[in-house]
Structure 1
Amino acid sequence: MTATSRVSAEATAAWHSFVRRRTAVFFTFFFPVILILIFAVLVQTNPGGGGGGGLFTEPAGYYLPGYLAVVVLFTPLSRVGSTVARHREGNRFEKLATTPLSRAEWLLAHTLVNVVIIGIASLIILGLMALVTGTANLALGPANLAIVAVFVAFAVALFCGLGAMLGSLADSQDGVIAASNAIALPLLFLSNTFVTPELLPAWFRPAMSLSPLTYFARGVRDVTYPQMEIMRVGGSSLVGWQFNLAILAVLTVVFFAVGAALIPQTD
C-alpha cells in the first residue's frame, strides 16, 4: 500500500465523517454567510472614516482578507485540534501505530480535507463579497483567484499543524477549544486583517510580523485589492504577494512538521 493510497483512504474516511455531522456541515458553510451579512451589510464600511477614523474606515475590498482569515484560522484549529484530542481520549492513536499510516500521513489526510472544506467556504465568501459589495474595489480574475487559492491552502495547512500541536498538548477537547480561542482571537485582530496598522501603537506594529496570519492577509490583499499594491507600516514599504507567500510557505512547513511530530504514537 503506497503513501498516496494510505493518505487517500484516511482523507476519504475523514470527509465522510465530516459530512455525516449535519450540524457541523451547516454551520461551517453558513458561518461565512453570517460573517458577510454582519460586517459587509449591517456594519458596512466608511472610507475616510468621516474624518473620525476607527474600524471599517477602508473600502470594502480592503477587508476581504479578514473575512477569509476567519475561516482559515478558526476552522482548522478547532477541527484538527478537537480531532486529535478526541483520538487521544479514545486511544485511537495506539491503533494507528499498528497500521502503516504514519503521523505525518494522518495529518496530511486531515489537512487535505480541511483545505477542501475551507476552500468551499472561501468561495462562498468571495461570491458574497462580489454580490453584496460589488467588484469595483476587488481584482477577482482567474489568475488572482488561483493565487488566493494557494494562499488559502498554505494557511489552512499551517493552522492544521498548529491545531495538531494544541490537540497533542491539551488535556481535553475543552482545553483545545479554550486554547484555540485564546490564540485565534488575538491573531485575528492583530494580523493586519480588520484592524489597520495605523490604529495600533507604533511600538507594536513590528510585532505584527510575528503572526503567520499577517503574511496571509497582506498577500491576499495585495492580490485582490489593487489599491494596496504597496502598503506602508511604520514607514517601511512591504514587497508584494510573492514575498508573503514565500514566508507563509516556510512557516507552513515548520508548523506542519512540528504538529505531525507531536501527534502521539501511543496514549
Structure 2
Amino acid sequence: MSTAPTRTERDDAELAAPDAETLASLLVGQERPRRPSALSASLTFGWRAMLKIKHVPEQLFDVTVFPIMMVLMFTYLFGGALAGSTEGYIQFLLPGILVMSVVMITMYTGVAVNTDIAKGVFDRFRTLPIWRPAPMVGYLLGDVVRYLLASAVMLVVGIVIGYRPDGGVLGVLAGVALLLVFSFAFSWIWTMFGLMLRTEKSVMGVSMMVIFPLTFLSNVFVDPRTMPGWLQVFVNNSPVTHLAAAVRELMAGNWPATDIAWSLGWSAFFVVVFGATTMRLYNRK
C-alpha cells in the first residue's frame, strides 16, 4: 500500500499564497512613475515624427528637391520678363517663394495624422496617461524641423544664384523665425482635415484647394499694385501676403511692424480656432 503524501486543495492554496502576496507587493507597493509633463510628451511625439523620416527618408524630397525646383524654375522662367534680369528678380522672389514653399509643405501634417488614424495608432495614443494634445503638438513640432530644413535649402540655393539679403544673418534668422511660427499655427488647419476626412487623398485634395489660391493670389511673385482693383482687395488682406511682405522686409534689413503684427495675429487665430476644433474632433473620434 502506497504511503506517499497527497496534496490537498488547502496545501495548494498555501503554496500559492506567497506568490500572490509577492505579486501584490510588486504591483501596489512600488511607487508609480510620474506622469510626463505636457512638454515632455509633446517632444517625445515630435521625436517619433523624426524617427519616421529616418526610416522613410523619401519624405525629405518635399523639403529638398521641391524647394530647389521652385526657386530655379520661377527665377529663370519669370525673372527676365518681370524684372529684366534674374539677379534683380531673385531679390524680390526668394523671400516670397520661401513662404510659398513652406506653407505648401504644411499640408503633409494632415496626411500624416490621417494615415495614423487609418492604421489604428491613435487608438493606442488615447489610452496613454499623457497630456491629450501631445500627439498633435508632436506632429507639428516634428514638421517644424522639416520647415527649417526647407528654408535652409532654399536660402543656400538663392545665395548661390545671386540673392543677397541686406538684413544680414539677423534679418534672415528673424524672417525664418516668423515663417516657422506662422507655419506651426497654419498646420492646425490640416490636422483638423486629417481628423475629419476619411482618406489621405481627400486630405491632400482639400489642402491643395485651399493652399493654391492663398499662395498664388498673393505678393509672392509680383507687386499687388499691378493687379486689378477687385483682386487687390483679396490679395492685400491675405495672411500669406502679410507674411511674405514681413519676411521680405526683415531679410532686407527693415522692421515692418504692421505686417509682423498681422502675421502673428493670423497665427494666433489659427491656433485658437483650428487648434480647438482639432482637439474637439480628436476627443470625439
Q: Considering the TM-score relative to the shorter chain, is it more than 0.5?
A: yes
Shift of 1:48: 5.1
SS at match of 1:160: helix
Shift of residue 124, structure 1, vs aligned partner: 1.2
* Contact kept in structure 1, 2:195 and 2:278, CA below 8 Å: no
Alpha-carbon distance, 1:253 to partner: 2.8
How many percent identity over aligned positions?
A: 21
Cα distance in 2 for partners of 1:20, 1:30 equals 19
2:104 aligned with 1:82? no
Q: Aligned partners of 1:179, 1:101: CA distance in 2, in Å? A: 31
The whole-number CA distance in structure 2 between the counterparts of 1:130 and 1:244 is: 28
The aligned counterpart of 1:166 is 193
RMSD (Å) for aligned C-alpha atoms: 2.7
**Paired positions, count:** 250
Deviation at 1:255, TM superposition (A): 4.9
Counterpart AA for 1:37: L
Quote how far apart the aligned CAs of 1:133 are.
2.1
Give CA-to-partner distance per residue, 1:188-226, whole Å, 9 cap, x none: 111221243123321232222543222211111121246
Aligned to 2:224: 197
Residue 28 (structure 2) pairs with residue 28 (structure 1): no
Task: Say whether the 8 Å CA contact 1:69–1:217 is kept in structure 2.
Answer: yes
After TM superposition, the score normalised by the length of structure 2 is: 0.77
Runs of 5+ consecutive residues of structure 2 not aligned to the other structure:
1-35
- Alpha-carbon distance in 2 for matches of 1:21, 1:259: 30
Cross-structure match for 2:268: 250
Matches within 5 A, 1:7-46: 7-46=42-81
Query: Residue 149 of structure 1 aligns to which amino acid in structure 2?
Result: V
Are 2:175 and 2:248, in contact at CA under 8 Å, matched by a contact in 1?
no
Using the TM superposition, give the Cα deviation of residue 125 of structure 1 relative to its aligned residue in structure 2, in angstroms.
0.8
Change (3 A) 1:82 1:262: farther
TM-score normalized with structure 1 length = 0.82
Over 3 Å counting, the alpha-carbon distance change for 1:8 and 1:239 in structure 2 is closer
More helix by share: 2
Matches within 5 A, 1:1-267: 1-46=36-81, 59-77=89-107, 79-135=108-164, 138-225=165-252, 240-255=258-273, 257-258=275-276, 260-265=278-283, 267=285
* 1:108-163 residue CA offsets vs partner (Å, 9 max, x unmatched): 2111111111111101111111110241xx32412202211221211221221011
> In structure 2, the residue corresponding to 1:191 is in which secondary structure?
coil
User: Larger C-alpha radius of gyration, 1 or 2?
Assistant: 2
5+ unaligned residues in a row in structure 1: which ranges?
A: 51-55, 231-237
SS in 2 for 1:44: helix
CA shift for structure 1 position 256: 5.2
Q: Which has the higher contact order (CA 8 A, sep 6+)?
A: 1
| Letter in structure 2 aligned against 1:80 | T
Q: Secondary structure at the match of 2:102?
A: helix
Q: Measure the CA separation in 1 of the matches of 2:55 and 2:167.
A: 33
User: Matched residues in 2 for 1:31 and 1:75: separation?
Assistant: 10
